Amino acid sequence: MLQYFIRRLLFAVPTFFGCTIIVFFIVNLAPGGPYEQQVQALKAGSGFGIGSEASGTAKDGAATIPPTALAELKRYYGFDKPVYVRYLIWLGLWPRETDSYNVKLGEPRNVGEGRYVIVNQQQDGTYSIIDKDTKESQTHVWTAENAVLDSTGFRQLRVFKTEYAGILTGHFGNSYEYREPVIDLIASRIPISLQFGVIGLVLSYVICVYLGIQKALRHGSTFDLVSSSTILISYSIPGWALGLLLLVLLGGGSFFDVFPLGGLQSREYESLSLGEKILDRAHHFVLPVIASTIQSFATLTLLMKNSLLENLSQDYIRTAFAKGLKEKRIIWLHAMRNSVIPIAANIGHIIGIAFVGSFFIETTFNIEGIGKLSYYAILSRDYTVVFAFTVIGVMVNLFGAIISDFVLALIDPRIRFR
Amino acid sequence: MSQTVQKSGSRSIGQRRWQKFKTIKRGYYSLVILTTMYILSFLLPVLVNDKALMVRYNGEYHFPAFTSLVASFPVIDQFVSVFQSGESLGQLGNPGQVRYRDLQKQYENENGDNIVIMPLYPYGPIEDITTDGNSAFMEPLVSEEGQPARLMGTDENGRDVFARMAYGFKVSISFALILVFLEYLIGIPIGGLLGFKGGYYDLIGQRILEMWATLPTLFLIIIVVSFIQPSFILLVLLLSLTAWIPITTYIRAEFYREKSKDYVAAAISIGVPTWKIMFKHILPNSLVPIITNFPFAVVAGITALVALDFLGFGLPPPTPSWGQMLSTGLQNLTKWWLVFSPMAALFATLIMIVFIGEAIREAFDPKTFSRLR
């Protein structure tokens, strides 16, 4: 058993690398990345800078960008290196350049925190880097490089620090778009997606389990047939499309003004009392929660129903009836315990809902959650964010399945994974 | 007498399933309705179109709607031109595409021999505000002076919502059918190979499948579509890249189970080649999950296209598509008919397909529960 899970975990490793490699290469090789977008922006003359001296020169000569600026820009986004190196850097298996400064030979250069370094070329062509004040060699901290910047042979010397920082060391980088660490960005959005994800999940489980039980107990009755049709209809409708319909119907615009058009809270949310805040939230949550759970309704309910029906036809139930136990007791204590097993095994997906969100629902209802963040990251080619989401998505998928299996094995002693 | 007994006694499993399917009315009628509508949808250019069915001008006959019917098929459309200038049919001062609805009125006023016969619903899916008589955001059942009523109004570009909805049906179903066909084409051989070969093939194959299944498909499609102008074929191909995974999983399990049966051992022992065992012996016995999965795969295909179109990464405009109509609806929430029409069409179609799927599942895998009390 333990072996099985260790094997599963080991198998997850190549899958993880394979998946991230594919995404990384496709995304990086696709034209129109952040570097090209920035160049376009500079060419258009709008010249929103990247905070380095490169943008300063580019602003003046709107249409012609100096090759130094281009090279600087390219280096800023890491596009001066081949794609496999970028992948290794991203993983944290290849040194990443951090602080980079242009230097002139023999002249002191401020490298931050009031420290100066002097770079000199030695006899054998390598560079020596010494601290201006302490005269100690700094080659273990700084690397000097003779950067060939363009075809005209313009050369510039620069020094940079390197460090191993990638997703394997927990370093996800900064978002190009929001200029803040990706981790913070995602962490700030998780609670929002989590809120309606969890509410929807709990609600759908409660309703589906109850409905499934009632359907199983009244198998073949009118109630069963009618609810089956309803469930089938709800299954066939994409949640976000239903959400859109509900918005038109109940969101004010044309018919009834019952629910807000979107967002998470009213404008005067801050001034409300606690009770009112909860009510306000709930009011905003109704439609998105319905839309995000409607499609899982059918699978869950039918799973519950079939599983209970299956158990009710087992021998141990016959025995219980033969013993003269009460029907209620048999159903709730004997059959139910075995029937919830497949439902409980869905637990692995809970994590998925919390972390991945749903950008369709969030786009439709204008909720600033995880899903919307990932969607806009794709649109604006915010690579660091895109890759962070790829990692999260892959992890959720891989571990969700393993956790599901694990829970299944935990609650059902009959199950043996080999 | 004896013949009839034999006949009913020797019904194949397929015939019995079909009989069972027919008794499930909901699914059966959905199948009949959808099939009929899909076949009819190929005739849309002569049913719902802004081109006339027939024009008689100075004794000459023209059939523009039929030309556009011919041009509605891929490949052929490269060779057929639907353009007819207004002046050539007496619409003076209009060197561009003739406006048949205006032409009809003009001929009526002239009281001459010239006739224009319009299709049943005389608006096209693509003609927009640039044509006279199309204004933006017309409400349902309203129309401009002297024009036939528009069943479901117009959108922000003055395009007829009903016409777009009808054409969107054909686009959606065709898209999903081709997609599912490709899925099966990729998924069945791979799944069969993994299940039949087993061992290391299976182990490594499973890892690759897992990897492929974890790819964020939608994101990759959005990225690809942002630098390649999407077309119908490209979208089908892109979606089919990952959509075959579930089929492979089903088939793999089926093959895995079937290969240990006696008939496979017998076939191997008399030296039947592997591919023949796989496709002639095992495959026919593994069709149940493929068939029962089919309607649900179609549902997934339609939903995927609608979702992509909704986000604006789907079929190039002005292709009539439900997803694009929905996103217009989201931007103009007060114009309720923009959302209602495609939504009704989408829901009705999906529900009918799910009904079919449920009936097929019931026919192939009848579950009977014996229960005490």
Identify the pLDDT of residue A143.
75
Query: For B217-231, what is each residue's pLDDT tens digit?
Result: 888 888 888 888 888
Cβ of A240 within 8 Å of Cβ of B347? The answer is no
What is the C-alpha separation between B203 and A11, in angstroms, rounded?
10
Residue B132 in domain: no
Query: For A308-344, what is each residue's pLDDT tens digit?
Result: 888 888 888 889 989 988 888 888 888 888 888 888 7
Pairing status of strand A155-163 against strand A142-148: antiparallel
Q: Is the pLDDT of residue A415 over 50?
A: yes
Identify the pLDDT of residue A357.
60
Identify the pLDDT of residue A117.
76
Residue B113 and residue B202 share a domain: no
Nearest to A203 by CA among A308, A309, A286, A259: A286
H or E segment at A97? strand A96-103
Residue B230 in domain: yes
B64 vs B132, higher pLDDT: B64
3-state SS assignment for residue A94: coil
Q: Which of A363-367, A413-417, B21-25 has the highest mean pLDDT?
A: B21-25
What is the C-alpha separation between A272 and A259, in angstroms, rounded?
18
Prediction pTM value: 0.84
Mean of pLDDT values over A85-96: 84
Sheet with strand A155-163: strands edge to edge? A96-103, A155-163, A142-148
Give percent above pLDDT 70 in chain B: 94
Query: For A257-286, what is each residue's pLDDT tens digit?
Result: 777 777 777 777 777 788 888 888 888 888
Residue B174 and residue B278 share a domain: yes
Distance from CA of A285 to the nearest CA of B (A): 18
CB atoms within 10 A of CB A128: 13
Mean of pLDDT values over A373-378: 86
Residue B71 in domain: yes
Contacts of B322 in chain A (CB under 8 A): none
Identify the pLDDT of residue B170.
93
Residue A390 pLDDT class (50, 70, 90 cuts)? confident
Residue A205 pLDDT class (50, 70, 90 cuts)? confident
Q: Residue B230: which residues within 8 A CB-CB, separation 6 or more?
A: B313, B314, B315, B316
Distances (CA, A) of A112 to A109, A115, A133, A143: 9, 6, 14, 15
For chain A, percent helix, then strand, then coil, each to nearest 5? 60, 10, 30
Identify the pLDDT of residue B216.
81
What is the C-alpha separation between B80 and A380, in angstroms, rounded?
41
CB atoms within 10 A of CB B197: 15
What amino acid occupies position A119? V
Residue B103 and residue B188 share a domain: no
Mean of pLDDT values over B308-333: 87
Structural domain of B272 = 163-363
Q: Supply the DSSP string of B342-368, one letter for each residue.
A: HHHHHHHHHHHHHHHHHHHHHHHS---
A350 vs B29, higher pLDDT: B29
Identify the pLDDT of residue A37.
77
A96 forms beta bridges with A163
For A119, phi then psi, to 5°, come to: -110, 130
Confirm if A383 and A33 have CB atoms less than 8 A apart: yes
Q: Is the pLDDT of residue A160 over 80?
A: no
Distances (CA, A) of B5 to A249, A312, B1, B11: 58, 38, 7, 10
Among candidates B26, B220, B340 on the partner chain, residue whose Cβ is nearest the Cβ of A23: B220
Residue B167 and residue B114 share a domain: no
Residue B339 and residue B259 share a domain: yes
Residue A62 pLDDT class (50, 70, 90 cuts)? very low
Mean of pLDDT values over A103-129: 73
Nearest to B318 by CA among B176, B146, B175, B124: B124
Residue B13 in domain: no
Residue B193 and residue B114 share a domain: no
Residue B368 pLDDT class (50, 70, 90 cuts)? low
- Residue to substitute from A10, A21, A233, A248, interface B, most B β-carbons within 10 A: A248
Identify the pLDDT of residue A406.
82
Sheet with strand A127-131: strands edge to edge? A108-110, A116-121, A127-131
Mean of pLDDT values over A104-110: 72
B144 vs B209, higher pLDDT: B209
Q: Is the pLDDT of residue B2 over 50?
A: no
Q: Is the pLDDT of residue B286 over 90?
A: no
Residue B353 and residue B224 share a domain: yes
Mean of pLDDT values over A344-364: 71
Q: Is the pLDDT of residue B123 over 90?
A: no
Q: Supply the DSSP string of A1-26, one letter for each residue.
A: -HHHHHHHHHHHHHHHHHHHHHHHHH
What is the C-alpha separation between A348 and A351, in angstroms, rounded?
6
The total of structural domains in chain B comes to 2
Q: Is the pLDDT of residue A53 over 50?
A: no
Q: Is the pLDDT of residue A155 over 70?
A: no
What is the C-alpha separation between B181 and B286, in angstroms, rounded?
17
Identify the pLDDT of residue B28.
93
Residue B167 and residue B110 share a domain: no
Among candidates A32, A236, A318 on the partner chain, residue whose Cβ is nearest the Cβ of B226: A32
Cβ of B329 within 8 Å of Cβ of A244? The answer is yes
Confirm if B192 and B251 have CB atoms less than 8 A apart: yes
Cβ of A32 within 8 Å of Cβ of B355? The answer is no
Assign residue A116 a region: left if phi > 0, alpha if psi is -120 to 50, beta otherwise? beta
Identify the pLDDT of residue B167.
92
Q: Is the pLDDT of residue B178 over 90?
A: yes
Q: What rounded mean pLDDT belongs to chain A? A: 78
Identify the pLDDT of residue A154.
56
For chain B, the maximum distance between any two Cα atoms, rounded to a whole number of angstroms, is 84
Among candidates B207, B334, B370 on the partner chain, residue whose Cβ is nearest the Cβ of A14: B207
Cβ of B226 within 8 Å of Cβ of A232? The answer is no
Residue B144 in domain: no
Residues B180, B184, B190, B195: what is their CA dihedral angle, to the nearest 10 degrees? 120
Residue B325 in domain: yes
Mean of pLDDT values over B79-96: 79
Q: Is the pLDDT of residue A65 over 80?
A: no
CB atoms within 10 A of CB A247: 25
B177 vs A115, higher pLDDT: B177
Query: For B30-78, what is each residue's pLDDT tens digit?
Result: 999 999 999 999 999 889 888 888 888 888 888 888 888 888 887 787 7
Q: Which two tokens stand for residue A144?
A: 């000097």
Identify the pLDDT of residue A49.
44
A192 vs B27, higher pLDDT: B27
Residue B30 in domain: no
Q: Is the pLDDT of residue B353 over 90?
A: yes
Identify the pLDDT of residue B165.
92
Q: Is the pLDDT of residue B173 over 80?
A: yes
Nearest chain B residue to A239 by CA distance is B303
Mean of pLDDT values over B185-209: 89
Contacts of A236 in chain B (CB under 8 A): 299, 347, 350-351, 353-354
Q: Which two tokens stand for residue A355?
A: 């972390």
Confirm if B38 and B170 have CB atoms less than 8 A apart: yes
Cβ of B336 within 8 Å of Cβ of A253? The answer is yes
Residue B218 and residue B286 share a domain: yes
Residue B217 and residue B97 share a domain: no
Residue B302 pLDDT class (50, 70, 90 cuts)? very high
CATH number of the domain that residue B316 is part of: 1.10.3720.10
Cβ of A309 within 8 Å of Cβ of B369? The answer is yes
Residue B302 in domain: yes
Residue B236 and residue B182 share a domain: yes
Domain boundary among B88, B103, B118: B118
Distance from CA of B342 to the nearest CA of A (A): 10
What is the C-alpha separation between A97 and B58, in angstroms, rounded?
79
Distance from CA of A404 to the nearest CA of B (A): 16
Identify the pLDDT of residue B182.
95
Identify the pLDDT of residue B5.
45
Mean of pLDDT values over B15-24: 88
Identify the pLDDT of residue A339.
86
Identify the pLDDT of residue A344.
76
Q: Is the pLDDT of residue B8 over 60?
A: no
Give percent above pLDDT 90 in chain A: 0
Cβ of A238 within 8 Å of Cβ of B215? The answer is no
B119 vs A136, higher pLDDT: B119
Cβ of B310 within 8 Å of Cβ of A360? The answer is yes
Q: What rounded mean pLDDT belongs to chain B? A: 85
Domain boundary among B63, B87, B118: B118
What is the C-alpha separation between A198 and A48, in angstroms, rounded?
40
Residues A286, A292, A296, A297: what is their CA dihedral angle, to the nearest 10 degrees? 20
Query: For A166-199, what is each residue's pLDDT tens digit?
Result: 888 888 888 888 888 888 888 888 888 878 778 8
Residue B199 and residue B113 share a domain: no
Least confident stretch, A16-20, A66-70, A210-214, B116-120: A66-70
What is the C-alpha separation between A330 and A349, in angstroms, rounded?
30
For chain B, percent helix, then strand, then coil, each to nearest 5? 65, 5, 30
Q: Which two tokens stand for residue B58?
A: 């100075």
Nearest to B345 by CA among B6, B3, B41: B41
Cβ of B372 within 8 Å of Cβ of A31? The answer is no
Q: Residue B223: which residues within 8 A CB-CB, separation 6 or more?
A: A26, A27, A30, A378
Q: Is the pLDDT of residue A55 over 50?
A: no
The three-state (H, E, C) secondary structure of B204-236, written as one string: HHHHHHHHHHHCCHHHHHHHHHHHCCCCHHHHH
